[in-house]
Chain A
Amino acid sequence: MADERLQKLSVRAITAFVIVFSVWFVIAERDGLLRLLTWLLAGLADAPRALEALISYYATLPSEPLLLSAGVGGLAGGIVSHLIWRRAVRTGKRVPQRALGLALGIGVGMAGAQIAATATQHCTYRPEASAAETLLGVVLTALTAIAVLLPLWTLLLGRRRFEQAESGYFRSRGLGYILLLPTLLSLLIFLYYPSAQMFNMSLMARRFPIRTERFVCLGNYISLLNDVVYQNSLLTTFLITIFVVLGSMVTALGIAVLASQKVRGAALYRTLLIFPFALSPVVSAAVFQAMFREGGSGLINYLLDLTLGVQPGWLRDAMLARLVVVFAAIWNILGFNIIFYVAGLQNVPRDLQEAAAIDGANRVQRFFRIVLPMLAPYTFFLLVTNVTYAFYGIYGAIDMLTQGGPPIGAAGALGGATEMLIYKLYQDGFRPGAPIGSAAAQAVFLFTIVAGLTVLQFRTIERNITYGG
């Protein structure tokens, strides 16, 4: 059986490669790994002390903030559990006793609320907290309580259970976990731990690199919400996002349809069309900067001056500057969208179109009634990625082209015309003497907005999409 021998050989080759790679990796990175290990061990060794501090914190905590936070968490937990219970009953699932479920929900909610409450040192429930802080604190507490209850939701309602994976399995369970360990570790060390640290930082008034810091409760969040510059930045972000997402997806679909026609050299066209995506945002923005730069050394204004005798203030006029940023962002992500639409168009069954053609549907009708709905999964995927790109990835374009400008109001008292949230965050977080507490609060807000938008898109749009055909 040649087949079997080949398989064994390939398994051995893969195994050998993995081992050689691991050994090489460990040797090459031994200093870093050792530091990581010491750091982890130090963290573990620190655990008893942290626990002790936690216990003494709760021992000295006045009862009022504790009761209030537990009450809010319990209320949120109770309401959510009630909703889950009702829904489970409606879908005909086997459910536990209602009272038991409620009691469990309230209990978990009360305990879950303590996660946020401990992180903020119960400051929003103390008498000296401002009204806005208290309100924001209640929202935060309720959200944490609900977040803790989410696994319960999934467990009870059993939404979308995945079938056992079909290809490949491990005979021993342990090996699977061992292989997962590097991923889990890196997620924990490089994602979850820094996120928790960042939340902690957002409660502080601190200036990098000065080490002294002062606990300010939710003060950073409140002053952001009251800051007209931040409000305008939020509006600018939504405005630019809408134009970038619509513009890039419509243009990409149009180009993809054209590029999918059977013409000579179609493959060449496609390659060239996808190429802008291979450039990093900063490089592509540098190209745009060379074109739109003012003062006489920009290409576009040179040509316009030569032919029409006008020199628009591309980067100095608020509306035009936004337009240039939108163009640069669209151009950069266009290739990415085209790849997916070209692939999607190839998967639209010909027979459906032919059948429609026989039934008398014209080209336009076929496109809107058949092709577009068949592309819906691609459109949805691109919508989510493009929104994320517009929120995060646009940074390079803004930094190269406008640096958030032109300023609105005297000395930019109302912010900048292209100062999107991500750019403002970077500016506030990484300049010398940066107010990193405020920057961390901005990062939390930004994450909340993007996560909220993504959930919204999944809940409203994704439900109406049919995958496969």
Chain B
Amino acid sequence: MPIATINYLGETPVIRKRLLVLALASLLIIAALGAPTQAQEKIQINFVHIFGGQQDFRSQVVQGIADAFMAQNPNIVVNVSSTSTDYVELFNNALLAAEQGQAPHIVQVEDSLIQLAADSDVFHLIGDIATPEQLATLDDLLPTVRAYYTLNGKLVGMPWNASNPILYYNRTMFAAAGLDPDAPPKTFAEVLETCEKIMAQRETLKINACINFPITSWFAEQWLAMQNALFVNNDNGRSARATEALFTSPEMLRVAEFHKALKERGYFTYTGRANDYNGEGITFLSKRTAMTISSTAGLTLFMNFSKAQGFELGTAPLILPDERADNGVTVGGASVWVTKGHSEAETKAAVDFIFFLTNTENDMTWHKGTGYFPIRKSSVERLTAEGWFEQNQPFAIAVNQLVNSRGNIANAGFVVGASAELREALTKAFQSIVDGGETPEAALAAAKQAADRALAEYNAVVGN
């Protein structure tokens, strides 16, 4: 019998009647389920971060802190979740949710996104909504950390997870090359000297190059801050909107020349992909280079893998452009922000949670649990008193580097809405110097042109 004769649905009145009954029944069920079950008495706040699910140890630390907060405040429920493991995606998700009126209460916002976050009008500024008692505790923040997240004299987001780049080197390889493992290079010039000695024994060390690191704008920002030079005009975009990228300054030229010198002498290699922190880590840990530069966020991983690879890991402060460049580094990482459009009780609970999250006690827990820096003077003091840094030398190097930074405009870091475009332009400049054989002057001039265009376009849209 051909299928064509089947008449789907509506064959007999009986089925129709049954359909009707079913439809009515389902409507009833929906009505029953859809009705509000009971009045919500507890205050619910949602907190989104990038640290992934429960399998990520950093996520577990956050959950532990949230649990402690809920134990102290039985009327508040903190729902911690990770809608993305990428800062930009998390930020975009939160803003799209905000457009639908469903913004999470607390959002983790990466350092370079703060101008956008402030311009978006989606967030409260912490300085506006915290109580006077809470604001008083801000004096305890490390000066560089506080300066980075302060705009027009007001704290915009609460700093939370902070990290820095440092120099990682292979002590075993240094010893084999006849170098003192306890005297890693401190400046650009010393890196070139060290590399000359290391590359002389390239065959015996079986290395590809002397040093590798991601081609990125982040290190250049650090090296500018160390030389007390600005990244963009108008006080790094802090006194007024930046209109010009200062990429052709002698300080930036020195950074570009360093890239060129490393490349020309064959001391440098990278994976061929910009900002490839993981790939560069693999190159260094596979003993294909003697040194690398990477974030302190990867410190724990580097320590574990170097043990597995059978070499002794050395860490040192980020190399300086020269001995006189002692202005210190800027802080990388992220801050936490409270979104607008929630009830007063919810907003207050969110602010309370943020200050709980970053109080001295939890700041120490956070540092010990994840390797991110403590952000409070009091936590550094207590950790020192406990002897934590003596037992964990690599952490001490990184934290000292930040504590010793002078809190001024140069190492407060730049704030620009179109920061992603500026960083991309600079990254491409370094790439074209290393791979395309461009002169540092030409590459930086082209990058400045692209960056200035992005600044102008952004300012034209946003206005002042």
Contact = CB atoms under 8 A, between A and B. Distances in A.
B50 to A, nearest CB: 14
- Most A CB contacts (10 A, CB to CB) among B9, B212, B289 go to B9
Interface stretch (B119-127, B228-236, B310-318, B394-402): B119-127
Nearest to A320: B272
A112 interface: no
Contacts of A434: 420
Interface in B412-464: 417-421, 424-426, 428-429, 431-432, 434-436, 438, 442-447, 449-450, 457-458, 460-463
A297 B19 CA distance: 64
A212 B19 CA distance: 51
Contact of A401 (B4, B122, B212, B273): B273
Given A401-B273, A432-B116, A406 B34 contact: no
**Taking chain B's interface residues, is the majority helix, strand, or loop, or is none over half, making it mixed?**
helix
Given A401-B273, A433-B418, A433-B458, A167 B3 contact: yes
Nearest to A26: B30
A41 to B, nearest CB: 16
Nearest to B458: A207
Contacts of A408: 436
Interface string B307-328: 0000000000000000000000
Q: How large is the interface on B (under 10, 10 to 19, 20 to 34, 35 or more residues)?
A: 35 or more
Interface in A132-190: 166-172, 175
A411 B438 contact: yes
Interface stretch (B63-71, B174-182, B275-283, B343-351): B275-283
Given A412-B428, A432-B88, A316 B435 contact: yes
Contacts of B288: 295-297
Interface in B63-108: 88, 91-92, 95
A432 B95 CA distance: 11
Interface residues of A, number: 66
A311 B272 CA distance: 12
Nearest to B206: A296
A313 B34 CA distance: 61
Contact of A410 (B417, B429, B457, B461): B429
A411 B116 contact: no
Nearest to B3: A167
Contact of B273 (A206, A208, A402): A402
Nearest to B459: A207
A369 interface: no
B367 to A, nearest CB: 27
A212 B442 CA distance: 35
Contacts of B2: 167
A406 B431 contact: yes
Nearest to B215: A405
A212 B8 CA distance: 53
Interface in A213-261: 213-214
A410 B428 CA distance: 8
Contact of A430 (B92, B425, B443): B92
Interface string B236-279: 00000000000000000000000000000000011111100001
Contacts of B208: 295-296, 311
Given A167-B4, A402-B273, 19 more contacts: A15-B15, A30-B33, A166-B4, A170-B7, A205-B460, A207-B457, A207-B458, A209-B95, A210-B116, A210-B119, A211-B121, A214-B461, A297-B282, A315-B271, A407-B436, A409-B432, A413-B450, A433-B420, A433-B458
Interface of A: 3-4, 7-8, 11-12, 14-15, 19, 22-23, 26-27, 30, 34, 166-172, 175, 205-214, 289, 292-298, 311, 313-317, 321, 401-403, 405-413, 430-435
18 contacts: A23-B22, A23-B29, A26-B26, A209-B92, A210-B120, A211-B120, A211-B121, A293-B279, A295-B212, A297-B288, A403-B274, A407-B431, A409-B436, A410-B429, A411-B425, A412-B446, A432-B420, A433-B421
